[in-house]
Structure 1
C-alpha cells in the first residue's frame, strides 16, 4: 500500500512542478506571439485571389475548347420544391450513344422573370451507334435557392429540336 501511495504522491509533485512549462520558451506554442490585425498590401485594382497571367510559355496549357452541343430533344422537365428552394430535373434524349459531361447551363435573356437553361452534352470524337431511345436517355438536375427563384415565373430548358418550360402557379 505504501508503494502505490508514494508513487502517486511523487507523480503529483512532479506534475505540479511542470506548471511553468506553459510560459517557458521551450514550449512550441509560445514561439510566436498572438495575432494582430494589419492592412493587407494591395497595389492598385488587383484581386489577390486571382493569379495574374504571366504570358504564354512553352508549358502553358491552351484554353480549353467548349465542345458541348445542345441535346437533341428535351423529353421531360420536372421541378420539385425543397425547404430551401427547388430542384430542376431535366431528361433528354441524345442523338447518339456515348454523350457525357452533361450540364444545364444558364443562358442570358431579356426577361428577368424567365430562368432559361441550355441542356448541353459532349459527344465522343469517334463514331458511336445510335441505339435505342432508352440507351440515349440522359438525366441532369440543378439546385436553386429561394433567392434564385425570387421573381421567376417561368423556367425553360432548351434542346436542339425543342424546349420544355414550366410556369409557376
Structure 2
C-alpha cells in the first residue's frame, strides 16, 4: 500500500508541473491564456500632474535659493570626471532644503580662484534655534577638468564666511 501511494503522489506532482492535458489542474477547465496587445506602455505616464506631456521639454524654474549662513568644511576629491567639491555648512534656520553649490561669475576663474556659492531654499515657516549640528547641510558638485582650467583654489562662499580648498 505504501509503494502505490508513493508512486501516485510522485506522478501527480510530476504531471502538475507540465502544461499538458495530463496535468490534473487542466482536467476541468478549458481556460486559455491570451495576450492583450496595447500601444500604451503602462509604466510611462501620458501626462504629468500639471497636464503637460511627459516627454515635452519642461521649462527650468529659476533657482530661488539664499546663501547659507556659514561654511564649516570644504573638501576637494579627485574623481574620474574631474574634481568633486564637497561643502558642509550651517543654515540660520531649520528646514533649509535643495542645497546647491552654484558657480559665481558664470563659472569664470579669477586669479586662479573659482568661487562657488553655497545656497539653499528657506521654508515658508522656518524654525529658528537649535544647535549647529541640527542645522547642518551638505552639498557636492562635480566639476570637470575644463571647468577647473586655470583654477588652483576653489572658494566656497556663504553669507558670513568662505573657505578655500586646493584643487588637486
TM-score normalised according to structure 2 size = 0.58
1:76-115 equivalence runs, <5 A: 76-108=73-105, 111=110, 113-115=112-114
Q: CA 1:73/1:81 → structure 2, altered by over 3 Å: closer, same or farther? A: same
SS at the partner of 2:146?
A: helix
Aligned to 1:68: 65
SS in 2 for 1:135: helix
Match of 1:141 in 2: 140
- Change in Cα spacing, 1:168 to 1:103, as seen in structure 2 (3 Å) is closer
Per the alignment, do residues 159 and 151 of structure 1 end up closer, same or farther by CA in structure 2, a change over 3 Å counting? same
Deviation of the 1:142 alpha carbon: 0.2
Whole-angstrom distance in 2 between the partners of 1:95 and 1:127: 9
Report the aligned-residue RMSD.
2.4
Give unmatched runs, 5+ long, in structure 1: 1-50, 52-60
Question: Relative to 1, partners in 2 of residues 1:110 and 1:140: Cα closer, same or farther, differing over 3 Å?
Answer: closer
Closer/same/farther in 2, CA of residues 124 and 162 from structure 1, 3 Å limit: same
Partner of 1:7: none
Q: Does the aligned pair in 1 maintain the 2:81–2:142 contact within 8 Å?
A: no
Instruction: Give the alignment's TM-score, normalised by structure 1.
Output: 0.57
Asked whether the 8 Å contact 2:83–2:167 carries over to 1, the reply is no
- Aligned equivalents of 1:168 and 1:88: distance in 2? 9
- State the distance in 1 between where 2:69 and 2:63 align: 17
Q: Distance in 2 between matches of 1:136 and 1:83?
A: 32
What residue is the counterpart of 2:122 in the other structure?
123
In structure 2, runs of 5+ residues without a counterpart are 1-56
2: CA distance, partners of 1:83 / 1:102: 24
